[in-house]
Structure 1
Amino acid sequence: MHKLRDLVFGPGRAVAVLSLTEILAWGILIYPPVLILPHLAADHGWSLAFGMAGFSIGLVTSGILSPTVCGLIDRHGGNIVMSLGALAGALGLALLTVADQRPAYLACWLLIGAAMSSTLYDPAFTTLTRIFGTSARRQITFVTFAGGFASTVGWPATQVLLEHFGWRGAYLTFAAVLAFVVAPLHAFALPRTVAVAPLPAASSSTALPVAPMRPEGWPFILLTAAFALHAFILSGVTSNLLAMLQRGGMDAATVVAVGALFGPAQVASRLADFMLAGRTHPLWIARGAVALMAFAFFMLSVVGASPPVAALFAVAFGAANGVMTIARGALPLLMYGPIGYGRVIGRIARPALFVQALAPFVVASAVERLSDRTVLEMGIVGALLALGCFLAIRPPGHVPRTRRSA
């Protein structure tokens, strides 16, 4: 009963609210473009490359704004910042339906990029850390577990809307959801509780973390580089994998079935982490995840793209990405503490979002100039480089403190 009361009236309500809004935000801002933009580009007589350039501009804009946005959440909470972000996204999507000129089209993606920076995982992690402090890892895990269903909701919903209302109707519907569902939930349903406060002087005889590391120097550079490498691999693979499998001789139906395994594997790994939260160090989770990615690339490169091997690759890669998302929220919290967490995670997100925007074009160009196998070998190298970065990081330890008198 106490847990139910907290879920409705207490800080725990943040988990329920953000679980829903992350599904909607990812399902509206990130997943639909791959289905909608070919229709939009064809309707305007533009190339698909130009249409996708708008999406890339959105990602780059998100990277530029991320440290500032998450820093604002540190100071003012997610209620104001995340609700305004949802409204910016609604305006950007609505304006896309009437933006017939190229400059106006690209300007719409600036608004959508602002929405990405203030409604997706990084602002959600910052909001949870502001509410729950150093204990936020379990809440972060649960929200990412729920968010794993975004593709399950977003792609089918987009396809249905396209079939019945066209691309303009689809984007107007998504704009309405952001404006009338997501924004009010952020503004009025997110708790305003603040748990993050300066640590008290000497208290408790139990082992407490030493003073958090400063977000600078080689540890911070290595952490940022590792997550940027992961973002590049993820974006490059997910945007080109299905085409690569088809070129390997697999029929379209089998390729789609293989791709469908990515989401459930991602959710399953997050569920496992949720059940074990607090027992596994997020640094070891990150190391294990990128090692699994390297193995998946090696297996597909050496054995070849037969349906069973491709299915195993999709499961391994999806599971690794599932827990990497959690590590991206939990590891900076462990290393740098909850105070100023939003600014730190925003700084980590910025280069990752930049390379995420560039990766599809870089990988596609590499496929054209080299070969699919060479690209898979590059994936092995990238994953091993990320693993090396994580192995070189040494997080702060623990020291005992004396008990403060009553």
Structure 2
Amino acid sequence: MSALPADSPSPVPHNAASLARLRLLAVLSISQIVGWGTSFDLFGILGRTIAADIGISNETGFLGATVMLLIMGFAGPASGRLLERHGAAKVMAAGSVVFAFGLALLSQAQGMASYFAAWFTIGIAGTLALSVACYTAVVEREGSSAKSVIGLLMIFTGLSTAIFWPLLSWLTGLLGWRDTLLLAAGCHLLILVPLHRFALPPIKTRSQTAQAAADREPMPLTALQQKRAMIALAIISIGFSSVTFGVSSSLIEMLTQAGATPALALQLGSLRSVLGISARAADTIAGKRASPVTSGLVATGLIVIGFLALIFGHGSVWMLGLFIGAYGVGSGLSAISRTVLPLGFFSVSRYAGISAKLALPGNISQALSPVVIAGLLDRGGLPLLLTFTLAVSALVLAALIFLAMLSRQSTIKR
């Protein structure tokens, strides 16, 4: 009789395990599509409408997104402790309650104070119910084999804009933005709370052997090496956020300054998300054959190739196409890599706490990098921006090489 993998919680029939995984994927896909669709993504449809109605400028209105991401980052370590103590199902259910309250508060906003109070609340909700909490729910149930499910989740989550922009536009025309937000609040309260609390597959009771495997570090790192690994992971999180999330908000302007016509810039820019989703799908199919470090190195290399194509392309359509192809695939790979990298250096049972700590620099970078990128592009043009992005990419590459060397040294020691 063959032995079970070390991190298997208990003998489970293959069909039952597959159904549980499908259930996990379905519940969390709905959770993340609705969560992002009714928070960060709503700015694309409702941002200017809300700002005009409550008497604030568009620039001030869009600061709500920055507030949300900053609060998600700063509250990350606290949410990590809650996830470790209570588990993802309870924390995400609580997050959906807070989401409902935040959206209801936003629906009644009359000025700047109540508007930002609502986004502060939505930021708290996000740290309890989005991204880190979601991936923790996967790791709790899948252990070190979580990468494929996380990859699939990222593919589905990438569809939130495609689903919610037309839906929000239709509902706003039908009900107005205030009632649309109240409907979204009701969706969180009446649908997502019970989904998170009761529909997620239960965490199977681990045997002593399986629990020991979950607690076992994947490699024998000293305390100093663990600290250095955390610093490297933080650099990767900040860097990837800057060159993906930050650059994407100025992508059309970058292409235009590189020589593309407005129509071509729009066409090329629209391909980025498709290429990113395709890259995530390919990485998910590759599974364990592609380690997170390898995926990160490939992602960084492609992003650098893309930026170099803009520098030396002189407006060539082929080089612009090379840029969007390399950059789109690289940015898609980077998202999965930075999410599952902690599992390569820290135990399964520490994933929630480690990822929540990394969310602090990552979310701060997501909140500030669009402003920094836009400022560099406006003040120094494309050359200054590309110099900055290449420098950031070099730092990410150095951090990934360090992690690869650390992994190799630990393997030799074992």
Scaled by the length of structure 1, what TM-score is found? Answer: 0.88
Q: Give 2:329's aligned residue.
A: 319
Contact preservation (8 Å) 1:65, 1:114: yes
Q: Give 1:378's aligned residue.
A: 388
Q: How far apart in 1 are the matches of 2:46 and 2:303?
A: 30
SS in 1 for 2:356: helix
The CA RMSD over aligned residues, in Å, is: 2.8
Scaled by the length of structure 2, what TM-score is found? Answer: 0.86
| Partner amino acid, structure 2, of 1:221 | I
Q: Which of 337-346 and 93-102 deviates more?
A: 93-102
| Partner amino acid, structure 2, of 1:346 | A
Q: Give 2:239's aligned residue.
A: 229
Shift of 1:286: 0.5
Q: How far apart in 1 are the matches of 2:212 and 2:411?
A: 14
Shift of the 155–252 alpha-carbon distance from structure 1 to 2, 3 Å rule, reads farther
Structure 1 counterpart of 2:278, from 268, 273, 278? 268
Q: How far apart in 2 are the matches of 1:379 and 1:392?
A: 20
Contact preservation (8 Å) 1:131, 1:196: no
Contact preservation (8 Å) 2:342, 2:354: yes
Work out whether 1:156 is the aligned partner of 2:143. no
Work out whether 1:40 is the aligned partner of 2:45. no
Q: Give 1:117's aligned residue.
A: 127
Q: Per-residue CA shift, 1:328-364, capped at 9, x if unaligned?
A: 2221011101022101011111111012111122222
As a proportion of its length, which structure holds more helix? 2
Q: Give 1:171's aligned residue.
A: 181
Structure-to-structure mapping, 1:243-258, within 5 angstroms = 243-246=253-256, 250-258=260-268
Q: How far apart in 2 are the matches of 1:338 and 1:267?
A: 26
Q: How far apart in 2 are the matches of 1:339 and 1:213?
A: 18
Structure 2 counterpart of 1:363, from 345, 348, 373? 373
Shift of 1:114: 1.2
When the two structures are aligned, how many residues end up with a matched partner? Answer: 396
Q: How far apart in 2 are the matches of 1:309 and 1:154?
A: 33
Shift of the 63–209 alpha-carbon distance from structure 1 to 2, 3 Å rule, reads closer
Q: Give 1:285's aligned residue.
A: 295
Shift of 1:237: 0.9
Shift of the 200–400 alpha-carbon distance from structure 1 to 2, 3 Å rule, reads farther
Structure 2 counterpart of 1:392, from 399, 402, 411? 402
Q: How far apart in 2 are the matches of 1:130 and 1:59?
A: 25
Q: Which of 64-73 and 284-293 deviates more?
A: 64-73
SS in 1 for 2:187: helix
Q: Which of 165-174 and 387-396 deviates more?
A: 165-174
SS in 2 for 1:46: coil
Q: How far apart in 1 are the matches of 2:100 and 2:344?
A: 34
| Partner amino acid, structure 1, of 2:57 | S
Work out whether 1:13 is the aligned partner of 2:23. yes
Q: Give 1:108's aligned residue.
A: 118
Contact preservation (8 Å) 1:26, 1:150: yes
Shift of the 91–285 alpha-carbon distance from structure 1 to 2, 3 Å rule, reads same
Q: How far apart in 2 are the matches of 1:295 and 1:144?
A: 24
Q: Give 2:145's aligned residue.
A: 135
Work out whether 1:81 is the aligned partner of 2:91. yes
Contact preservation (8 Å) 2:313, 2:319: yes
Q: How far apart in 2 are the matches of 1:95 and 1:309?
A: 48
| Partner amino acid, structure 2, of 1:327 | S
Q: Give 1:404's aligned residue.
A: none
Q: Give 2:353's aligned residue.
A: 343
Work out whether 1:193 is the aligned partner of 2:203. yes
Shift of 1:294: 1.3
Shift of the 306–70 alpha-carbon distance from structure 1 to 2, 3 Å rule, reads farther
Contact preservation (8 Å) 2:259, 2:314: no
Q: How far apart in 1 are the matches of 2:393 and 2:245?
A: 13
In structure 2, runs of 5+ residues without a counterpart are 1-12
Contact preservation (8 Å) 2:73, 2:127: yes
